[in-house]
Structure 1
Amino acid sequence: MEGMMLTIGHCHLRNVCNTRYVIDFLPRVSNVKVWKVRLEAYEEVNKLFQNSSSDNDECFGRFLKSPDLLRKMVMDNNVVAQEAGISAICSFLEFGGSNACTKTRSQIISAIAEKGLGSTRPGTKQKSINALLWYIELDVPDPVIESLLPALSAKLPKLVAGVVAALNEIYSNFGCKVCPPKLVLDVIPQLFAHADKNVRAETTILSITLRSYMGTAFDTIIFEKLKPIQQKDLAKAFEKIEGTPTPKRFLRSHQVQIAETKTGLEDVSMIDAQEVSSDQLDAFDLIDPVEVLSKIPSDFKSRIESSKWKDRVEVLEEVLTEFKYPKLKNDDYMDLIRVLSKCLKDANIQVVTLASKIIEKLGSGLQQDFHRYVSILISPLLERTKEKKQSVLDAISAALDVCFKFSSISELLEPTLQYMSHKTPQIKIESSRYLIRCLKQTETIPKKQEIDSIMQVSLRLMSDSLAPVRDLACEITATLVKIAGERQLRSYLEGIDSRKTKKIDEYSSSCEVKTIGTKQKSGGAYLQKVSAPATFDRNGLLDSAMPAGQSLSATPNMSKTSEPSLTSRKLASTSTTIPSKRGPSSPLKSSTATGKMNLTSRTLKPTNSQSLNRAQCTTPSLNSSERELFESLKAEKLEWNQKRKEIQSQLDTKTEEIARLNKKLDDQQARLTEATMAVKSKDIQLSRLQSDLDQSESKIRELQYQLQQALSEKVAVKEEPNDNFNFSLQKLETLDSKSDLNRRISDLSIHNGMEKENYFGSNTGGTTSTRSKFSSGLYDVDSNDDSWRKAAEVTNQLKARIEMMKSKSRTFNQL
């Protein structure tokens, strides 16, 4: 019956075009065992989605009410049918709209992560990733990424690698501004520690994608959690990143906004992606804040007020250790700030240094929330700049820079100007340097009242008795000129002498500011290039080789400078105040006046470069075009000097770098030499050990040979007494007197038997048997015979031989 229904259903799926019938029949088809029937059903449903008229079509309704049908398509056991089912889900999302996303997301994403991303078929894996991208585009990315993260803890390595690859596609297509990277930054160190190399490789690709969008913020967060070798490999891979990428896909809500602004644009995909590219993220926004106030020692106040400086230094070091985190929780630090402000006045410089470092860490950890503590700290910090030790001064300067970074120049200007007029020269110098740093870093133009206050103090410092203070005052003025423009400061610049004006021009030409709207100029201050400058020789001088009859005034394409420098303005104003000598009133006087000079007339001798320039400006031979040429040449000279300084600075930098590299090379060569000497020493030791080993082996062989010789002699000794004894018995048996012979042989056998028993131990069987023979009367010999002397001699010989064998045995035992 089931087979018949299956056949009928199969035929209907192939031939019937009724949408409702196909949809109603799909739940029964998903439970059948024949995979081809399921495959064809998934393909028919995919066609229905693609041919739908709108996202409200009836083909979507059944699946919106029963998302389990889509989940069964993803979880299909047959890989071919599964791929067709995931393809149908992609069409369902593409043509079903936001409802198809939000109402099926919770059931489908987990199934895709479990079965689709871990598939061995590339097509199935890619279609699974496409389905995830559709879920993100139709709504928001956070639920999708959060649903994928649990799969990263799976035991199957290919599933983990597939999920990491899917996350890489998500961030590569939408960018880190749409998809918050904080969701995956915590698991990246764990993925780098995975045992499977494919997982680590996919994690490296994901890290490169995140780094291209985040910039150095990725390094700040991740590198401290990785091994040194992993840091080195990632840094090498990051060097190949070129610029910030642009997203390839946009959220549907974003597309609507762009379509509204881009009226008349038919295809949203043709929108300039550069306009919606994500900026590099700030690492501070991606870090969780850490609460540190509770970690400060409970006896902090008592120890910081101790009369012993070691106690104060020790407790400040403990506090500094707790402020190591990059982001701190925004608590009430007012009590701590007051204590640190008091520490800045301490007589011990270590206490001052540690307090300044804590202020810097606190400012960096709070950032904008540090703003309310700046007014309490700025005056004690400026007061302490009187220290001349560079390490202390560096810590105080870093704390001052943090105060400005998270406040504004308006809040810091009044105390800074106050300490710029301090009686201590060191405080005056460091306060002026601090104001210069603030002016260069500020992004807003100071108010007119603030500019007036700065210029009043700067003009007073230009007449200071110390040269560094005068130079800093000129640099402050030049920075203000670069920010606000010469026009706004013209009333102050008119009273400055030419030497200081020239120095202001030099500082202004090399000054770089961050004020919004300020135009950076590479040449001298407020000097513009002429369209056709004069030619110069290789030494930078005006080339005198001009065509005959062509004067300076006839130089073509010569345009006026739009705004002369401060020095040229000064010269122009002085040239108008000094009247020139009156010319002759008659032709006669004019003809005589041109021939010779009136000796009675008094002339002012040019005592310096200013008077010389004034004389050149008032010379009648220079007309307006020549003066314009002179000004243009002066501008080009200033520009050339500036470029020369830049090239010299680059050369000095390269020289220092070469010196540093040479020093590093020398250190490496020294280490290599030490390593080589160590290797040679080890080789010598090895050769000596090998020689000792050979000698030992030779000695062992010699001892073994001696042992073998001794053993052979011992065996010979054991065998030799029996032979001698038998020989003695044969000689004794030949004696004539049997009775005497019996007595002597009995005595000899007993004596020899005892000696042999003492020497040979248990090997006396032969002697004992012989003794028994003599005692039993087997050898009946006359003991009164005269031949007993021969037996005695044999006995003595045997004794001597036994003693000799005993001595050899003792020698052998000693060996």
Structure 2
Amino acid sequence: MAEEEDFGALSLPDQFAHKNWKARKGGYETAAKEFRTAQPDDAIVRDFTLDSNLWKGAVSDSNVAAQQEALNAYNAFLDAAGADGARKTRGVTVQGVVEKGLTGRPAAKASALESLMLLIELDKADPVVEELLPFFAHKQPKIIAATLSALTSVYHAYGCKVVEPKSVIKQLPKVFGHADKNVRAEAQNLTVELYRWLREAMKPLFWGELKEVQQKDLDKLFEPVKAEPAPKQERLLRSQQAAREQAETAGAGDGAEDGGEGEDGDGEAIDLEPEYEAVDVLAKVPKDFGDRLASSKWKDRKEALDDLYNAANVPAIQEGPFDDILRGCAKSMKDANIAVVAVAANCVECIAKGLRKSFVKYRGIVLGPMLERFKEKKATVTDAIGAACDAVFASTGFVEIQGDVLEALQSKNPQVKEHTAKFLIRSLKSSREAPTLEQTKEFAEASKKLLTESVATIRDAGAEALGVLWKIMGDRNMLNHLEGLDDIRKNKIKEFSDAAEVKAKWKPKSAAPPPKPTGGAPPSAKKPALGTKRAPPAGVKKAAPPRAAASPTPPEEAPLQPRPTSRPTAKPPAGLRPPGTAGLRPAGSGLQKPGLGLKPPSSATASPKRQIVALDDTPAAVAKSGITAAGRGLAGRPLGKPVTAPSTPPRQETTAASSALSSIERQELSDLRAEVELLRNQTSDLRQDKLRLTSQIAELQNQNAQLIEDHTRDVLQIKAKETQLVRARSDAENAEERANSLSKEMDRLKRELSRLNRPHAGAASPPVDQQQTSLNGMMNGDTSHTGGGMTRPVYGSSRSYNVPSARAYGDIILPSTPPIISNGGSEERTSLDGESGMSSKPAIDRSQSDGVGGVESWRRAAEVTQNLKARIEMMKVSSF
């Protein structure tokens, strides 16, 4: 067996270019060892930096084992060479790292990913991302999937502040439409990772180019991400590491580290707005736009706005005079046709987005009419107007929309209140600048009024607005605005605050530094503390202390000893006075009884450790103290150091005055503290009373509303009862009139019966039961019955009679024709109601010689009459 060639004798460049893979693998291993201990200035590092083609062949080695070692060597080289090595080699190595490394074995894949991370860490990410984007269109799906997976890891480590996401997001629709499922899966993973950093702000760049199914799938993947906290950068660039080390050296290590992380997480916003060339929209608007918009036909108006929308639907618009156009859109907000209103709102949205900050001067033209049009109940119209309002706010700010929003929140229309409150909520969530304290107060007061509305959606909108304000402004600025609300409302507002996602956070403005003292005097010498005594100017004679300032026991009889103190008594250094003597009169010289020039010291300026005498500013006190008017005021104070008293009283007298003054000050201090505590308690009680009274007012308002509702219901019931009573009275009057008419009719029938029965008074009347049977038979429509002897009329007979037919009169059935008696050739027809000749029935002739038939006929008539009378009486009783 032939001996193997010794490749170690070759130079590293020769080993890198050798045909034998073992030689190359050995060269890679040797290079990795040397680079791990090399410095940037070493010759080996410089050689491999200048000859970057060595790395081009190494990272794309055809042998898998050799290529893995080549990637390890390249990582060691990058670590040693730094930014210069990364800049000069990344242009030739990224392709091999992606095509050979990311698709290789797991160990090679990890090394290749580390190579990409190092190339970004050493310099910047933009050149590396530009090298990776062309692989999205590679022929092999596995390379596209590997590139997407590598970008997901890059964004997870560095975040979207370091790695620009805009160019990658624009390529997402292309990879989502790939035929390979692995490519689409990696595209989803990359999109979810980008959503962790950018949230909803990334959607306008690519969302419209996706299919509806893909959008729904991504929304499901976004749901768990929304609950996660904001991500932070896990891996720092070399420049960031150097800045952090420098800050740690300066003694602010923790702060610098926190600041760096926060800078990546919650710091400056990521600009996702693409750069577009501005378009001259005014040149595309039809010349007759105003005339068509003023047409009486709604189709003409809509077509004019459609033309405007097609012209203005561009990403960027050149500035120009849009006053007339926007006035026409504002006028269209009052159009009766909702299609015209929706298109006008879309036009305003496009113009606001296109002009951006230049739209601020047109805000007053369109915002008010749009908020007023929120009264429309059609969802398509309110959605279009809401989108237009959001675009207006994005182009302006809180200062510009504040007046119109507050006015709309006081509208009488509940629809306007609700949608305006929702517009305010969206504005607060999307704004990157927190509102000022004055704006917060105005918005909070307007939102609190919505909590008392009768519509539940308006109350929820008001609570959400307060919750978002709370999230932005914090407890310090919002708790005072929430005073007076009950616990239920506060808890609901707190829930909205916890769930709100905002982009702005209120930060207090840093206080201005205090002015530097001038003249060489310390700040304390410029303005003495409140209640302290100024040093008298030179030449002013101090007043002698009155006797009242002495203690009850004269110093000669009972000299007071100095109070024991825990502080050490050290001799002050040369040029310095003992503490407490500068600017003060000698002890005991100004001590008087209360009310004689001595002002009680305040709790903020006096303490038991430092005795300070406050002089009254009254003229009498000034005269007694011996200080002239020239020595008072700012102009009379000396600019130099205070002049000390030429002589000091004896130590015993000083000690007595100090003791007496100290006791007075202690007493006054204790009294003031007691008063402060009392005032605090009273304030707390008043606050509790205010909360209780506010709650009672709310309850009384609810009770009042309930009472008003009950009263309205009672009034309606009373009116209904009165209507029923009127109807009942009308029915009773009708029944009474009917009863009277029936009574008259009954009397008339009685008279007629008596007149008819007068010639046959002796005739016997049939029994009552027979009469009733006969009447019942007539009422039931029977033509004959067994008890009454009534039969059908027999015409053509000399002795025949006609049974009277029934005639309906109201509820009473009367005989339609009376019996007809034929006497010879003449006919006599008599009606029971007094009318004659009204019947159309044929007459029944009766022979003069036959009197029995006539008697029988009249007997039948009497029966019918009796039955009718009984029936009338029964109906009269039942009607009442």
Q: How does 1:608-757 map to 2 (within 5 A)?
A: none
Given the superposition, is the C-alpha separation of residues 429 and 561 from structure 1 closer, same or farther in structure 2, using an over 3 Å criterion?
Answer: farther
Distance in 2 between the 1:161 and 1:310 partners? 52
Given the superposition, is the C-alpha separation of residues 135 and 320 from structure 1 closer, same or farther in structure 2, using an over 3 Å criterion?
Answer: same
Determine helix, strand or coil for the equivalent of 1:224: helix
Distance in 1 between the 2:474 and 2:175 partners? 55
Distance in 1 between the 2:386 and 2:121 partners? 49
Q: How does 1:229-244 map to 2 (within 5 A)?
A: 229-241=213-225, 243=228, 244=230
The alignment status of 1:411 with 2:400, answered yes or no, reads yes
Alignment correspondent of 2:366 = 377
Letter in 2 for 1:227: K
Determine helix, strand or coil for the equivalent of 2:265: coil
Residue 254 of structure 1, CA deviation: 1.3
Distance in 2 between the 1:431 and 1:234 partners? 34
Alignment correspondent of 1:135 = 119
CA contact (8 A) 2:176 2:184 kept: yes
CA contact (8 A) 2:437 2:477 kept: no
CA contact (8 A) 1:75 1:111 kept: yes
Alignment correspondent of 1:121 = 105
Kindly provide the CA deviation profile for residues 224-255 of structure 1, in whole angstroms up to 9, marking residues without a partner as x. 33334444444444445462443331111111
Kindly provide the CA deviation profile for residues 351-375 of structure 1, in whole angstroms up to 9, marking residues without a partner as x. 3443234324544565555333213
CA contact (8 A) 2:286 2:307 kept: no
CA contact (8 A) 1:217 1:283 kept: no
Residue number among 211, 225, 229 corresponding to 1:227 in the alignment = 211
Residue 297 of structure 1, CA deviation: 5.2
Residue 259 of structure 1, CA deviation: 2.0
Q: How does 1:500-579 map to 2 (within 5 A)?
A: 563=684, 568-569=689-690
Given the superposition, is the C-alpha separation of residues 161 and 451 from structure 1 closer, same or farther in structure 2, using an over 3 Å criterion?
Answer: closer
Distance in 2 between the 1:306 and 1:68 partners? 73
Residue 275 of structure 1, CA deviation: 3.4
Given the superposition, is the C-alpha separation of residues 427 and 401 from structure 1 closer, same or farther in structure 2, using an over 3 Å criterion?
Answer: farther
Kindly provide the CA deviation profile for residues 279-300 of structure 1, in whole angstroms up to 9, marking residues without a partner as x. 5997972555586765955354
Letter in 2 for 1:214: L
Distance in 2 between the 1:114 and 1:226 partners? 28
The alignment status of 1:57 with 2:42, answered yes or no, reads yes
Alignment correspondent of 2:134 = 150
The alignment status of 1:170 with 2:154, answered yes or no, reads yes
Distance in 2 between the 1:429 and 1:384 partners? 9
Residue 116 of structure 1, CA deviation: 3.0
Residue 181 of structure 1, CA deviation: 1.6
The alignment status of 1:42 with 2:34, answered yes or no, reads no
Distance in 2 between the 1:232 and 1:435 partners? 29
Question: Over alpha carbons, which structure has the higher Rg?
Answer: 2
Distance in 2 between the 1:453 and 1:236 partners? 35
CA contact (8 A) 1:215 1:280 kept: no
Residue 82 of structure 1, CA deviation: 2.3
Distance in 2 between the 1:453 and 1:98 partners? 52
Alignment correspondent of 1:12 = 9
Residue number among 63, 78, 81 corresponding to 2:63 in the alignment = 78
Residue 64 of structure 1, CA deviation: 1.9
The alignment status of 1:351 with 2:336, answered yes or no, reads no
Determine helix, strand or coil for the equivalent of 1:313: helix
Residue 123 of structure 1, CA deviation: 2.4
CA contact (8 A) 2:359 2:395 kept: yes
Stretches of structure 1 that go unaligned for 5 or more consecutive residues are 14-24, 494-500, 520-558, 574-607, 614-815
Letter in 1 for 2:169: L
Which piece of structure 1 moves more, 287-296 or 149-158?
287-296
The alignment status of 1:215 with 2:199, answered yes or no, reads yes
Q: How does 1:452-531 map to 2 (within 5 A)?
A: none
Residue number among 81, 86, 96 corresponding to 1:111 in the alignment = 96
Residue number among 181, 190, 193 corresponding to 1:206 in the alignment = 190
Determine helix, strand or coil for the equivalent of 1:215: helix
Alignment correspondent of 1:716 = none
Residue 411 of structure 1, CA deviation: 3.2
The alignment status of 1:187 with 2:184, answered yes or no, reads no
Given the superposition, is the C-alpha separation of residues 214 and 564 from structure 1 closer, same or farther in structure 2, using an over 3 Å criterion?
Answer: farther
Given the superposition, is the C-alpha separation of residues 373 and 64 from structure 1 closer, same or farther in structure 2, using an over 3 Å criterion?
Answer: same
Residue 316 of structure 1, CA deviation: 1.8
Residue 193 of structure 1, CA deviation: 2.8
Given the superposition, is the C-alpha separation of residues 216 and 404 from structure 1 closer, same or farther in structure 2, using an over 3 Å criterion?
Answer: closer
The alignment status of 1:298 with 2:312, answered yes or no, reads no
CA contact (8 A) 2:375 2:415 kept: no
CA contact (8 A) 1:193 1:200 kept: yes
Alignment correspondent of 1:692 = none
CA contact (8 A) 1:220 1:283 kept: no
Residue number among 65, 70, 73 corresponding to 1:88 in the alignment = 73
CA contact (8 A) 1:223 1:231 kept: yes
Alignment correspondent of 1:531 = none
Task: Output the TM-score relative to the length of structure 2.
Answer: 0.47
The alignment status of 1:261 with 2:247, answered yes or no, reads yes
CA contact (8 A) 2:16 2:24 kept: yes
CA contact (8 A) 2:346 2:384 kept: yes
Task: Output the TM-score relative to the length of structure 1.
Answer: 0.50
Residue 568 of structure 1, CA deviation: 1.6
Distance in 1 between the 2:50 and 2:93 partners? 14
Distance in 2 between the 1:431 and 1:195 partners? 50
Residue 61 of structure 1, CA deviation: 1.1
Determine helix, strand or coil for the equivalent of 2:83: helix
CA contact (8 A) 1:329 1:366 kept: yes
Distance in 1 between the 2:341 and 2:19 partners? 81
Kindly provide the CA deviation profile for residues 195-237 of structure 1, in whole angstroms up to 9, marking residues without a partner as x. 3333333333323322322223445544433334444444444
CA contact (8 A) 1:385 1:426 kept: no
Distance in 2 between the 1:245 and 1:562 partners? 45
Letter in 2 for 1:182: K
Determine helix, strand or coil for the equivalent of 2:396: coil
Determine helix, strand or coil for the equivalent of 1:207: helix
Letter in 2 for 1:87: N
Residue number among 174, 180, 186 corresponding to 1:196 in the alignment = 180
Identity of aligned residues (%): 30
Residue 141 of structure 1, CA deviation: 0.5
Kindly provide the CA deviation profile for residues 751-780 of structure 1, in whole angstroms up to 9, marking residues without a partner as x. xxxxxxxxxxxxxxxxxxxxxxxxxxxxxx
Distance in 1 between the 2:475 and 2:58 partners? 74
Distance in 2 between the 1:453 and 1:228 partners? 38
Letter in 1 for 2:209: K
Letter in 1 for 2:155: Y
Kindly provide the CA deviation profile for residues 515-535 of structure 1, in whole angstroms up to 9, marking residues without a partner as x. 96699xxxxxxxxxxxxxxxx
Distance in 2 between the 1:36 and 1:506 partners? 77
Residue 81 of structure 1, CA deviation: 2.2
**What do you get for the CA RMSD once the two structures are aligned?**
5.6
CA contact (8 A) 1:343 1:351 kept: yes
CA contact (8 A) 2:196 2:231 kept: yes
The alignment status of 1:315 with 2:304, answered yes or no, reads yes
Determine helix, strand or coil for the equivalent of 1:104: helix
CA contact (8 A) 2:201 2:272 kept: no
Distance in 1 between the 2:126 and 2:305 partners? 43
Letter in 2 for 1:117: L
Residue 83 of structure 1, CA deviation: 2.1
Letter in 2 for 1:66: D
Alignment correspondent of 2:786 = none
Distance in 1 between the 2:140 and 2:173 partners? 18
What is the number of equivalent residue pairs in this alignment?
502
Distance in 2 between the 1:231 and 1:383 partners? 34
Residue 100 of structure 1, CA deviation: 1.0
Distance in 2 between the 1:319 and 1:181 partners? 33
Alignment correspondent of 2:12 = 26
